[in-house]
Amino acid sequence: MKDQNYKSLIATFLKCNANQVFLYWKGRVALFAILKAMGIKEGDEVILPAFTCVVVPNAILYLKAKPVYLDISADNYNMNIDLLEESITNKTKVILCQNTFGLSSNIEEILQIAKRYKLYTIEDCTHGFGGEYNGKPNGSYCDAAFYSTQWNKPFSTGIGGFLLVNNDKLINPVRLLENKKVTPTLGEKITLSSLLLLNKYLINRFTYWTLLKLYRFLSKRNWIIGSNRGEELSEVNMPYNFFKGITSVQINAGIKELSLVHSVNILRRKNSKDYTKFLISKNKTYVDENLVQNHLFLKYPLMVRDRELIFHLAEKEKINLGDWFLSPLHPVTENLEQWGLKRELFPVADQISKKILNLPTDVSNNNRVINFLKKHIELIE
Ligand SMILES: Cc1ncc(COP(=O)(O)O)c(C=O)c1O
């Protein structure tokens, strides 16, 4: 019952029907479900940007299909559409575009190309829930879109994800997979609700870094539920019980969080405008406002000269900066060939991933962030 309620609430935001929405343990599971429903199999090719989270190519590789990466555009951190057509072969089945940091890809052009070659399209909206493209919610245009509700996402259920299916023909295949989902254990439910409580009551400006480091240490070893299981970052075999459903803990958290999304997004838009204005005034790299009308800045990208130093200074001054994406396949920085990616073939993504960090857009007072930037302006590009 509660899951129907949650689906309806999501559907209201996405201006779709609740029966187009499917719920999963994580966003990557939603991606796996739609690829499977599209019939993706060994030898098929899926085109995606070379600036994403490693769990995205993982979902493709779990089906023994091949991720075909495209370098990105420095304007919007999404796939460079000029490279799209030349990467299509007779094995290509899907174009997977992304709204990196909330910024949309140029969807019309992607859809035109996809139509010409009869390819499926999927939008990775893990950063883009709440943003719009040409007056419609992100995720409305492709055959399907998937979303994440992990810790740092537009709204959070700790971990979690959902799928929006726009192509009627795919609804049934996705529905057929519903009974294949593994039910999360009681232990997982308890751990997740404890983490959500800890996040609510224990995390503040002073405890954040210590607890974050502890969380990453524990989750890397699979000692608690983390954003990634250790093996997802070191190999391409599907983890045990990967295809998992959602829990009531996540549904309850999601229902609560959705009621706050509008006001947080107003804040995100205001803060990102302020960052843009500031960066223009200092002649630094910024995101062009024309690209971002009604888009959502989940985080604001910043190019810096010495990332390590900035992170160190920020931690000392209790400024919470993000590290997306440290590599073309975040957070993995070594041995990307295992995922079929050679860094030197993607110079834009490679360079950006060496210099980028992100400013928070959900802070109620961005003066501290802007003052920090002013103080260290020589480190910003
Ligand atoms: C661009 C992108 N796609 C997909 C995902 C996966 O989402 P989830 O962690 O919910 O599986 C992430 C992750 O955080 C991401 O940043």
Q: Which pLDDT score, from 0 to 100, does residue 121 have?
A: 98
Q: Which pLDDT score, from 0 to 100, does residue 218 have?
A: 75
Q: Which atom of ligand 1 is nearest to the CA of 228?
A: 9
Backbone angles phi, psi at 212, to 5 degrees: -65, -45
Query: Distance between CA 41 and CA 64 in Å, rounded?
Result: 6
What is the whole-number distance in angstroms between the Cα of residue 6 and the centre of ligand 1? 20
For residue 28 and ligand 1, the question of a CB distance below 6 A is answered with: yes
Query: Distance between CA 7 and CA 246 in Å, rounded?
Result: 12
Q: Structure tokens of 252?
A: 């309850």
| Angle between helical axes of 27-37 and 168-177 (0-180°, round to 10) | 110
User: Which CA distances in Å does 81 have to 44, 75, 145?
Assistant: 21, 12, 19
Q: Which residues in the chain land under pLDDT 50? A: none
Q: Which pLDDT score, from 0 to 100, does residue 160 have?
A: 97
Q: What is the tens place of the pLDDT at every residue in 47-69?
A: 999 999 999 999 999 999 999 99
For residue 298 and ligand 1, the question of a CB distance below 6 A is answered with: no
For residue 26 and ligand 1, the question of a CB distance below 6 A is answered with: yes
Q: Which atom of ligand 1 is nearest to the CA of 160?
A: 10
Is there a shared CATH topology between the 2-180 domain and the 261-379 domain? Answer: no
Indicate the Cα dihedral angle 357, 76, 46, 178, nearest 10°. 70
Q: Which pLDDT score, from 0 to 100, does residue 234 have?
A: 87
Half-sphere exposure of 239 (CA within 13 A, CB side): 16
Q: What is the tens place of the pLDDT at every residue in 304-347?
A: 999 999 999 999 998 999 999 999 999 999 999 999 999 999 99
Q: Which atom of ligand 1 is nearest to the CA of 55?
A: 6
- CATH code assigned to 2-180: 3.40.640.10
Q: Which pLDDT score, from 0 to 100, does residue 90 have?
A: 98
Half-sphere exposure of 142 (CA within 13 A, CB side): 30
Report which protein residue has its CA nearest ligand 1's atom 7.
27
Report which protein residue has its CA nearest ligand 1's atom 10.
27
Report which protein residue has its CA nearest ligand 1's atom 15.
53
What is the whole-number distance in angstroms between the Cα of residue 197 and the centre of ligand 1? 22
**Topology of the domain covering 261-379:** Aspartate Aminotransferase, domain 1 (3.90.1150)
Q: Which atom of ligand 1 is nearest to the CA of 330?
A: 16
Q: Which pLDDT score, from 0 to 100, does residue 27 have?
A: 98
Burial class from Cβ neighbours inside 10 Å (0-12, 13-18, 19+) for residue 87 reads middle
CB 70 within 8 A of CB 92: no
Q: Structural domain boundaries of the chain?
A: 2-180, 186-239, 261-379
Backbone angles phi, psi at 67, to 5 degrees: -75, 130
Q: Which pLDDT score, from 0 to 100, does residue 292 have?
A: 73
